[in-house]
Structure 1
Amino acid sequence: MPTQTEIELQAAAFRRLQKHLMQDRTDVQNIDLMNLAGFCRNCLSRWYAEAAADKGIEIGKEEARELFYGMTMAEWKENHQTDSGDAQKEAFKTAFEQNVGKD
C-alpha cells in the first residue's frame, strides 16, 4: 500500500474514533476509558499536541483539548461529565500512573 494511502486511512480511522467518542458515546466517561483501556479523550488530545510538536507546531494543552473535543473542556464537563465514585477515582490513580506517569 502506498504510504500516502496508509496515512489517509489512518487519519480517517482517527476521525471516526474521534466522532465515536465525541458524538456517539458521550455517555462513556473519561475515567471509565482510562480505567479500562489506559487512555481517554484527554490522552488523545495530548497525543495530537505531541504529534504537532514533532512537526514544530506548538499547541497548548487547552487548545489541543478544544481541537479534539470541538468545544472547551468546561463545555464538555457541563454537557457530558458525571460525578465519579470513590472506587473509580482510586482505580484512576493507578491507571493514570501506569499509562501516563506520575502527576
Structure 2
Amino acid sequence: MTTTTELEAAAFRRLLQHLNQDRLDVQNIDLMIQAGFCRNCLADWYREAAEAAGQPMDKEQAREVIYGMPFAEWKARHQKAATPEQLAAFEATQKRHGG
C-alpha cells in the first residue's frame, strides 16, 4: 500500500522535474509574478522542513536538492537577466500582495 507521504513525495519529484527539465524556459521571476513562489522558495521550504525534522541544512544545500545541481551552476546555465517588463510586473505583484 502506498502512503500519502510517498504520493506527496512522488508529486514533489514530478514538480521538480517539470520546473528543472521540462520548463527551463520559465524563469523564477515569472513564477514569482504568476504564482507567488519560485524554485528558491521551494528550497527555503525544504530547508525549513529539514531543520524542523532535526536535520540542519544551509541555503545552498537546499537549493542543490531543488535544482539538482549547485545553484550557481544552474543559474549560469539557465537563468536569464530579468527584462524591464518582468521587473515592473514583479514589483506590481509585490505591492498588490504586500511582499
Q: TM-score, normalised by structure 1?
A: 0.84
Query: Which digits, 9 at most, give the CA deviation of each residue in 1:27-67, with x for residues without a partner?
Result: 11000001000000001111100110110111101110011
The answer to which of 77-86 and 7-16 deviates more is 77-86
Q: What residue number does 2:31 align with?
A: 33
In the aligned structure 1, how far is the partner of 2:54 from the partner of 2:92?
32
Deviation above 6 Å: which 4+ runs of structure 1?
Answer: none
TM-score if structure 2 supplies the norm length? 0.87
Secondary structure of the corresponding residue to residue 56 of structure 2: coil
Alignment equivalent of 1:62, drawn from 60, 63, 78:
60
Pairing of 1:6-25 with structure 2 (within 5 A): 6-25=4-23
Report the aligned-residue RMSD.
2.0
> 1:90 is matched by which residue type in structure 2?
A
In structure 2, give the amino acid aligned to 1:89.
Answer: L
Identity of aligned residues (%): 56
Q: 2:49 is aligned with what amino acid?
A: A
Gaps of 5+ in 2: none
Distance 1:47 1:57, change over 3 A: same
Query: Would the aligned equivalents of 1:49 and 1:59 in 2 still touch at CA under 8 Å?
Result: yes
Aligned to 1:43: 41
